[in-house]
Structure 1
Amino acid sequence: MTKQRKQIRLGAHFPGVNNTTVWSDPEAGSQISFESFRRFAQTAERGRFDFLFLAEGLRLREHQGRIHDLDVVGRPDTFTVLAALAGVTEHIGLAGTINSTFNEPYDLARKFATLDHLSAGRAAWNVVTSSDAFTGENFRRGGYLDPSDRYTRAAATVGAARRLWDSWLDGDLIADAQEGRFVADPHAGAYAYHDRFFDIRGRFNVPRSPQGRPVILQAGDSPEGRDFAAANADAIFTRHSTLEAGQEFYRDVKRRLGQFGRTPEELLILPGVTFVVGDTDEEAQEQARVIRRQQVSGRTAINFLEQVWNRDLSAYDPDGPLPDVDPVVGTELLTQGRASVRRDDALQVARRWRERAEADNLSIRELVIETTGRQSFIGSPLTVASQLNYFVQNDACDGFILVPHLTPGGLDPFVDKVVPLLQEIGVLRTEYSGGTLRENLGLPPQAAAAEAREEAS
Structure 2
Amino acid sequence: MTKQIHLAAHFPGVNNTTVWSDPRSLSQIEFSSFTHLAETSERALFDFLFLAEGLRLREHAGRIYDLDVVGRPDTFTVLAALAGVTDRLGLAGTINSTFNEPYEVARQFASLDHLSAGRAAWNVVTSWDAFTGENFRRGGFLPEDQRYERARRFLETTIELFDSWRGDEVVADKDSGTFLSDPRAGEFAHSDAHFDIRGRFTVPRSPQGRPVIFQAGDSDAGREFAASRADAIFTRHSTLQAGKDFYADVKSRLAAHGRSRDELLVFPATSVVVGDTDADAQEQAAIIRKQQVSGPTAIAFLEQLWNTDLGELDPDGPLPDFDPVVDGDTLSKGRASTRMFGDRLATARGWRELAEAKNLSIRELIIEVTARQSFIGSPSTVAEEMNRFVQEDASDGFILVPHLTPGGLDDFVDRVVPLLQERGVYRTEYPGTTLRENLGLPTLP
TM-score (norm 2): 0.97
Distance 1:74 1:140 in 2: 22
Please tell me whether the aligned partners of residues 307 and 339 of structure 1 are also in contact (alpha carbons under 8 angstroms).
no
Q: 2:349 maps to what in 1?
A: 351
Please tell me whether the aligned partners of residues 53 and 95 of structure 2 are also in contact (alpha carbons under 8 angstroms).
yes
Q: 1:27 aligns with which of 24, 47, 51?
A: 24
SS at match of 2:108: helix
> Which runs of no fewer than 5 residues in structure 1 stay unpaired?
448-457
Distance 1:374 1:182 in 2: 53
Q: 1:142 maps to what in 2?
A: 139
Q: 1:214 aligns with which of 208, 211, 215?
A: 211
Please tell me whether the aligned partners of residues 188 and 201 of structure 2 are also in contact (alpha carbons under 8 angstroms).
yes
Which aligned pairs between 1:198-277 and structure 2 lie closer than 5 A?
198-277=195-274
Distance 1:29 1:156 in 2: 40
Shift of 1:181: 7.8
Q: Does 1:78 pair with 2:72?
A: no
Please tell me whether the aligned partners of residues 308 and 340 of structure 1 are also in contact (alpha carbons under 8 angstroms).
no
Show CA shifts across 1:207-239 (max 9, x none): 111111100011000000000000111000001
Shift of 1:330: 1.2
Q: Does 1:410 pair with 2:408?
A: yes
Q: 1:335 maps to what in 2?
A: 332
Q: Which amino acid aligns with 1:119?
A: S
Distance 1:153 1:100 in 2: 7
How many corresponding residue pairs?
A: 442
Please tell me whether the aligned partners of residues 69 and 300 of structure 1 are also in contact (alpha carbons under 8 angstroms).
no
Greater displacement, 42-51 / 180-189: 180-189
Distance 1:136 1:18 in 2: 21
Q: 1:191 maps to what in 2?
A: 188
Q: 2:292 aligns with which of 290, 295, 301?
A: 295
Shift of 1:178: 8.7
Runs of 4+ in structure 1 deviating by more than 6 angstroms, as ranges, are 177-181
Q: 2:100 aligns with which of 96, 99, 103?
A: 103
Shift of 1:345: 1.1
Distance 2:179 2:206 in 1: 12
Distance 2:83 2:386 in 1: 29
SS at match of 1:72: helix
SS at match of 1:352: helix
Shift of 1:295: 0.4
Distance 2:437 2:219 in 1: 29
Q: Which amino acid aligns with 2:440?
A: G
Distance 2:32 2:81 in 1: 11
Greater displacement, 19-28 / 398-407: 19-28
Q: 1:439 maps to what in 2?
A: 437
Distance 2:141 2:82 in 1: 35
Q: Which amino acid aligns with 1:442?
A: G
Q: Which amino acid aligns with 2:152?
A: A
Q: 2:41 maps to what in 1?
A: 44
Q: Does 1:6 pair with 2:27?
A: no
Q: Which amino acid aligns with 1:162?
A: I
Please tell me whether the aligned partners of residues 127 and 141 of structure 2 are also in contact (alpha carbons under 8 angstroms).
no
Q: Does 1:394 pair with 2:402?
A: no
SS at match of 1:389: helix
Shift of 1:25: 1.3
Distance 1:88 1:178, change over 3 A: farther
Q: Which amino acid aligns with 2:382?
A: V
Which aligned pairs between 1:56-95 and structure 2 lie closer than 5 A?
56-95=53-92
Q: Does 1:127 pair with 2:124?
A: yes
Shift of 1:183: 4.0
Please tell me whether the aligned partners of residues 44 and 417 of structure 2 are also in contact (alpha carbons under 8 angstroms).
yes
Shift of 1:145: 2.2
Please tell me whether the aligned partners of residues 8 and 50 of structure 2 are also in contact (alpha carbons under 8 angstroms).
yes
SS at match of 2:343: helix
Shift of 1:69: 3.1
CA RMSD of aligned residues (A): 1.5
Q: Does 1:428 pair with 2:407?
A: no
SS at match of 1:101: coil
Shift of 1:74: 1.5
Q: 1:17 maps to what in 2?
A: 14
Please tell me whether the aligned partners of residues 101 and 154 of structure 1 are also in contact (alpha carbons under 8 angstroms).
yes
> Which runs of no fewer than 5 residues in structure 2 stay unpaired?
none
Q: 1:319 aligns with which of 316, 322, 341?
A: 316
